[in-house]
Amino acid sequence: MEPSVVSPGARLVIEALEDAGFEAWLVGGAVRDGLLGRSASDADVASSALWPQAAQALRRRGVAVHETGTAHGTVTAVAQREPVEVTTFRSDGAYSDGRRPDEVRFVGSIEEDLARRDFTVNAMAYHPQRGLCDPFGGQRDVLLGVIRAVGDPAARFSEDGLRVLRACRFCAQLGFTVEDGTLAAMRSCKSMVLNVATERVTDELNRLLTAPSAGKALLETWDVLAVVLPELVAMEGLDQRNPHHCYDVLAHTARVVDGVAPNALDRWLALLHDVAKPAAFFVDEKGVGHFYGHGRLGQAMAGEVLGRFCFSRAFVDDVCRLVAIHDDATPTTEKGAARLVRSLGGRFDL
């Protein structure tokens, strides 16, 4: 791993803290992405400095500091026009609300800080001179393409139920596979997701669906995702018994998800376009499966699904309109095209 993976802003923050006598490391996703040869979208630094000490050291170097999360030891520095979160080495107490620790305890080493993190690929630290600190085998798991919980998986998920969905999302984002023990704990702990704020669940699902390997994540973790998307259960394994379809409904859906543009509208449409196929399915006297009316039935079901999450009315309406007509014949005349546009509320952008 090359020192160049440390962004200019993070490098300035680390230098300012260490010049003031503190220890500082780049942590989290930036380290993981550096091992993958990818550029990171943000930078986080963990330090032995308490937040007032970190703020003072950074301001002495002319770095703007915002006190964004001081209860948890966090400030945000703006260095080289880049936001860098700086957090004191810490361990977390009990999570009685399943989201945030009831208390945090500031600790003396980077190793103790890394022990509180969710997955091994996110539990590494890097220093431009000292190199990689990897007490839990994160580099190995990056090379293997594995999502593995740090320590006891059930304990990690009980701390924050959103971590169950985060594991699914990292599978989609990185193209990795969830390790067997971690996946088993996700299955046993998935009901904890129901205690997570709807806004957080919505954000995690959006990030999952718009990721490069969303279809892979759907196929490998559908039974976990079913805690918030129970419609997946009936889709999985449903043989369409139709010469136009060689995949079951869920596998077909996963391929459609990966085949459309990676934006929220297209990916949710792809996920839900055949949501009503299990309900509409019947087999004719020749043994051929049909799904007559599944588009219009799916319109109502898609509205019900999206209504569980934090989406605008306009977004829900757009997805539902498109689900309704996705299986209609493509118009071949001007009148037919005009009818199609009217059915979309006059929208040419859908």
Asked if 260 and 218 count as a contact pair (C-beta separation under 8 A), the reply is no
Beta-carbon neighbour count of residue 152 at 10 Å? Answer: 11
| Beta strands at 146-147 and 177-178: parallel, antiparallel or unpaired | parallel
The predicted structure's pLDDT at residue 96: 66
| Domains defined along the chain, listed by start | 1-136 (3.30.460.10), 145-228 (1.10.110.30), 230-350 (no CATH)
The predicted structure's pLDDT at residue 338: 66
The predicted structure's pLDDT at residue 245: 78
pLDDT of the chain, 350 residues: tens digit per residue: 666 689 999 999 999 999 999 999 999 999 999 999 998 878 999 999 999 999 999 999 999 999 999 999 999 999 999 999 999 999 986 666 656 677 789 999 999 999 999 999 999 999 999 999 999 999 999 999 999 999 999 999 999 999 999 999 999 999 999 999 999 999 999 999 999 999 999 999 999 999 999 999 999 999 999 999 999 999 999 886 787 778 899 999 999 999 999 999 999 999 999 999 988 788 788 877 777 878 789 899 999 999 999 999 999 999 999 999 877 656 667 676 567 667 767 665 66
The predicted structure's pLDDT at residue 283: 77
The predicted structure's pLDDT at residue 239: 83
The predicted structure's pLDDT at residue 141: 98
The predicted structure's pLDDT at residue 179: 98
The predicted structure's pLDDT at residue 341: 64
Write down the pTM of the prediction: 0.89
